């Protein structure tokens, strides 16, 4: 279908509503240059996660367009678009399979060792080993007990393994202890270094490091710039 090579993202006058009459995003325009990290911040309900969902094409825009490397994503096959993007949603839902396959998902050629290395990098390896069946533990049926933040770390491990050109991260609002947070940020910094990253950021440490911050208010970009300029 096509090959994205750079990882540049353009939102051009994007408008979107989930239900008729209630506009959620209004004329949203911004550019993320290849390799940059953009932090999306703003009050609850301002449209941050919606931006992530549109870029992954959970929904199509109703006005304007979204381009990756100059190509309108609405004209790209969903599979090829998604092979190019890694997404860590706000509320990660795991697949009804074992935890190893949940991490391997999207990179079926990865070895068990690579899966475990990704889990170590996402700081979820020890938690997985604490289950009697370890990496073979089935998710769902036998009631795998993972918190929201732990499930999100499984999704981070998956993303680390996939190493996509564009990473979309909707940070969990749940508080992590500072050591865990520090470990994960170091791992993400490693994978994100050469990748374009859009992160819905709740943590100041994430916001400070971003190349660009977009402040959303009621579905519009109210302010834009680097941390020390805002």
Binding site for Mg ion (CB under 5 A): 49, 90
How does DSSP classify residue 176? P
Give the per-residue contact string, 87-126, with ligand ATP (x = CB under 6 A; - = no): ---x------------------------------------
Among 4, 10, 14, 24, binds ligand ATP (CB under 6 A): 24
How would you list the strands of the sheet with 37-41, edge to edge? 85-88, 166-170, 196-200, 37-41, 212-217, 220-225
Cα–Cα nearest to 131, from 150, 152, 156: 150
The stretch among 16-24, 101-109, 115-123, 146-154 that binds ligand ATP (CB under 6 A) is: 16-24
Check residue 19 for interaction with ligand ATP (CB under 6 A): yes
C-alpha distances (whole Å) from 85 to each of 53, 64, 110, 130, 198 are 12, 21, 17, 31, 11
Phi-psi region of 214 (alpha: psi -120 to 50; beta: other; left: phi over 0): beta
Check residue 18 for interaction with ligand ATP (CB under 6 A): yes
Least CB distance to Mg ion at residue 200 (A): 6
The entry of Mg ion, ligand ATP, none that residue 113 binds, CB within 5 to 8 Å by partner kind:
none
The stretch among 43-51, 124-132, 136-144, 152-160 that binds ligand ATP (CB under 6 A) is: 43-51
Check residue 21 for interaction with ligand ATP (CB under 6 A): no
Token pair, residue 139, equals 């998710």
The entry of Mg ion, ligand ATP, none that residue 18 binds, CB within 5 to 8 Å by partner kind:
ligand ATP
Helix (H, G, I), strand (E, B) or coil at 200: strand
Interacting residues of 132 by C-beta distance below 8 A, sequence separation 6+:
none
The entry of Mg ion, ligand ATP, none that residue 47 binds, CB within 5 to 8 Å by partner kind:
ligand ATP
Measured between alpha carbons, how far is 100 from 121 in angstroms, rounded to an integer? 15
The stretch among 42-50, 70-78, 181-189, 191-199 that binds ligand ATP (CB under 6 A) is: 42-50
The two beta strands, 37-41 and 196-200, are parallel
How many residues make contact with ligand ATP (CB under 6 A)? Answer: 12
Least CB distance to ligand ATP at residue 18 (A): 3
Residue numbers at the binding site for ligand ATP (CB under 6 A) = 18-19, 24, 42, 44-50, 90
């Amino acid at each position: 279908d096509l090959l994205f090579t750079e990882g540049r993202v353009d939102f051009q006058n994007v408008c979107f509503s989930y239900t008729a009459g209630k506009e959620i995003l209004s004329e949203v325009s911004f550019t993320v240059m290849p390799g940059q990290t953009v932090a999306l911040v703003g009050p609850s309900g301002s449209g941050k996660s919606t931006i992530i969902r549109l870029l992954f094409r959970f929904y199509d825009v109703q006005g304007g367009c979204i381009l990756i490397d100059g190509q309108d994503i609405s004209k790209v096959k969903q599979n090829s678009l998604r092979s190019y993007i890694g997404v860590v949603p706000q509320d990660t839902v795991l697949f009804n399979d074992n935890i190893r396959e949940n991490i391997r998902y999207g990179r079926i050629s990865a070895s068990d060792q690579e899966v475990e290395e990704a889990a170590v990098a996402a700081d979820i390896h020890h938690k997985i080993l604490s289950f009697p069946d370890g990496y073979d533990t089935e998710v769902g049926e036998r009631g795998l007990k993972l918190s929201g933040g732990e499930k999100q770390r499984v999704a981070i491990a998956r993303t680390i393994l996939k190493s996509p050109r564009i990473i979309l991260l909707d940070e969990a609002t749940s508080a992590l202890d500072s050591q865990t947070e520090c470990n994960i940020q170091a791992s993400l910094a490693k994978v994100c270094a050469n990748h374009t990253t859009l992160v819905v950021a709740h943590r100041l440490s994430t916001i400070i490091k971003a190349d660009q911050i977009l402040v959303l208010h009621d579905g519009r970009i109210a302010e834009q710039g680097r941390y020390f300029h805002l």
